[in-house]
Structure 1
Amino acid sequence: MVKSQDIFVGKHAIHHKTIDLPAHLELFLQHLTVQRRLAHNTIEAYRSDLQLFISVIAEQHVTSCAAVDKKHIQLFFAHCHNKKHSARSSARRLAALRAFFAYLVAQGIITTNPLLELDSPKIGRNLPKALHLEEIDLLLTRPLLPTPINIRNWTMIHLLYATGVRVTELVSIPLKGCNLATCHLRILGKGNKERLVPFDAKTAACIREYMERARPAMVKNRTNTMLFLSNRGRAMTRNRFWQILRETARARGIKQDISPHMLRHSFATHLLSGGADLRSVQMMLGHADITTTQIYTHIDTDRLKSIHQRFHPRG
């Protein structure tokens, strides 16, 4: 029988005091994957930040969880500061450490959390950049030469702006995830959380044209269940679409360097500017916390000024 203070590493039950920080880190990452169901990229970010912490304090001959105290945490952040790491990186690492040591306390591995008295570093909040409507119109202009590749590119840009999905979500849409009858996408987002995102009739027409005229020329006699394909019939990659968007922007005379995330920001900003409620935009974007969506309420200052001038008695 496995004792209550024993834990599993692989198939073997080992007393928790006999395993070191790296082994507990692997157990923590398994917990995030299986219990919390966090996204792969999030898990890897935790892994990278916590492995850096473990490597730094190992130089002080600290290898067990119980041996870590407040001075080791401070030593780690002093190391990050000396390496000129950004405040944003430090804030992310502190969040990772908080989650890791809270997990160790919950599991009974340690009794005291060495991060309880530490404050998060203060960082500035970067407002997301949104494209002007004139730039959106340029991007969504129908290509003069309607080749299969041009139709595909045009459709993907249309759909990205119409739905505000993340670029990883865009290139991962399966055929069955796009419903042209009801005009909505079924998106599997961060943390394997599913959401429905609507799109407009014009975008539906673009997708239908792509399905009828472009996709068959790409898939040919092969089998692929993804909606958007490369010219070799394989699933589109996020890096390739990033290149396509930049090339399209340059060809349309847009001078600034744009990214897929800017179209996501533009989607949210333009919806809120048009009067959409914050909760609906949160659901469409797939934000777990509405405070993440609230950042978009600080962007449209020109519109707020015009409202103030129009309706305030001394405007």
Structure 2
Amino acid sequence: MDYIQIKRRYVRFLRLERNYSQNTVDAYSHDIDYLLNFLNGEGLAVEEVRLAHLEQFATLLHEFGIAASSQARILCGVRSFFRFLLLDGTLQDDPSELLESPTLGEHLPEVLSTEEIDRMEASIDLSKPEGQRNRAIIEVLFSCGLRVSELVNLKFGDVFADDKYLRITGKGNKQRLVPISDNALHEIQLWLYDRNLMNIKPGEEEYVFLNRRGAHLTRTMILIMIKNTAHDAGIIKTVSPHTLRHSFATALLQGGANLRAIQEMLGHENIATTQIYTHIDITTLRNEILNHHPRNMKNT
């Protein structure tokens, strides 16, 4: 069977039926190439694939030194691929149904305190053309918990300043309403004074955040900016745009917000994804107990 044609059908399925973003489609497509190269090397058609073949494939991923988290992602893509072939009628049985992913140690993402966010914002040189823009970006990411892809695509038609909320189009083109703080709105307003002096490229007028050339930003630009800003603020943690999203959720939970409400604001389809923040909060609580409980305090 022609694997090129199968892959094209699968990619079309992800894009049209699953409504995945182009970034997600590209990731699944790249990961499935590992499997197709393996099957080609073994001379196997998809109808001939059994669980034992997939377990051999998983073993090879480990032997090639691929990280456990990447192995898990690739095998998740493999299961998605075979579920598609089942739905497509190509296969009658799913050989990946009992395929296990490697066990991953629990990974708690880095979290920034409000004080660290303030330090980052204070470290920005507002005399530079992009200074106020960068300050506004950090405040919006921290105040609203947006994904970086959601921020770069934010348009003025999605900002309802009077009602203090944003209309966000997230994964799968699903829309949600996210409250925005007065601080974040104020930082955006200050950025607009600078933005109004720019030469904006045709077709880019609706994007809230622009680069120096008057075009909307890319995810990579924001990643580099946030890493550099954290460094300038003397923060030694590994900081990315997603760190601000984690910090937003953790701050809400520590403030007493309901987990379901946090799930809605983050745009998580599954509550299990949101529940990692309960682990972060428990870690914080444990540290508080170790530091402040009388049974743990040393005599001085």
Could you say whether these structures have the same fold, taking a TM-score greater than 0.5 normalized by the shorter chain as the test? yes
Q: What does residue 216 of structure 1 align with?
A: 196
- Aligned residues of 1:90 and 1:121 also touching (Cα < 8 A): yes
Inter-partner Cα distance in structure 2 for 1:114 and 1:283:
35
Q: Distance in 2 between matches of 1:240 and 1:187?
A: 20
Deviations 1:165-201 (A, max 9, x none): 0111111111211221112111111111111111111
1:302 alignment partner AA: T
Q: Which residue of 2 aligns with 1:10?
A: none
Aligned equivalents of 2:224, 2:201: Cα separation in 1? 27
> CA separation in 1, counterparts of 2:89 and 2:162?
53
Match of 2:22 in 1: 40
Q: What secondary structure does 1:236 align onto?
A: coil
Aligned to 1:293: 274
Q: Is the 1:142–1:154 Cα contact (8 Å) retained in structure 2?
A: no
Output the CA distance in 2 between the equivalents of 1:148 and 1:275: 38
Letter in 2 for 1:243: I
Is 1:50–1:93's contact at 8 Å kept on the other side of the alignment? Answer: yes
Unpaired runs of at least 5, structure 2? 294-300
For the residues of structure 2 that align with 1:50 and 1:144, how far apart are their CA atoms?
A: 45
Verify the 8 A CA contact 1:229 1:236 in the aligned structure 2: yes
Deviations 1:69-126 (A, max 9, x none): 2232122122212211122222222221212212222232122222233323211121
| Shift in Å, 1:224 | 2.1
Tell whether the 8 Å contact from 1:148 to 1:215 is kept in structure 2 after alignment. Answer: no
Task: Provide the alpha-carbon RMSD of the alignment.
Answer: 2.6
Aligned residues: 295
Instruction: Name the CA shift for 1:246/1:108 in 2 (closer, same or farther; >3 Å).
Output: closer
CA distance in 1, matches of 2:100, 2:218: 39
Matching residue within 109, 118, 127 for 2:90 = 109
- For 2:152 and 2:31, the matched residues in 1 are separated by 28
Following superposition, the deviation at residue 157 of structure 1 comes to 0.9
2:267 is equivalent to residue 302 of structure 1: no
CA distance in 2, matches of 1:257, 1:309: 24
1:112 partner letter: D
Identity %: 36
The yes-or-no answer on 1:273 pairing with 2:236 is no
Which of 141, 151, 168 is the equivalent residue of 2:122? 141
- Residue 75 of structure 1 aligns with which residue? 56
- Choose which of 31, 45, 49 in structure 2 pairs with 1:49: 31
Q: 2:10 is matched by which residue type in structure 1?
A: F
The reply on whether 1:65 has 2:34 as its aligned counterpart is: no
Deviations 1:22-81 (A, max 9, x none): 32222122112111111222211211121111111211212x221212232122122212
Gaps of at least 5 residues in structure 1 are: 1-18
Select which of 176, 179, 186 maps to 2:157: 176
1:263 to 241, 244, 249: 244
Structure 2 equivalent of residue 94 of structure 1: 75
The two structures have a TM-score, normalised by structure 2, of 0.89
Report the residue type matching 2:199 in the other structure. Answer: V
**C-alpha displacement at 1:277, in angstroms?**
0.6
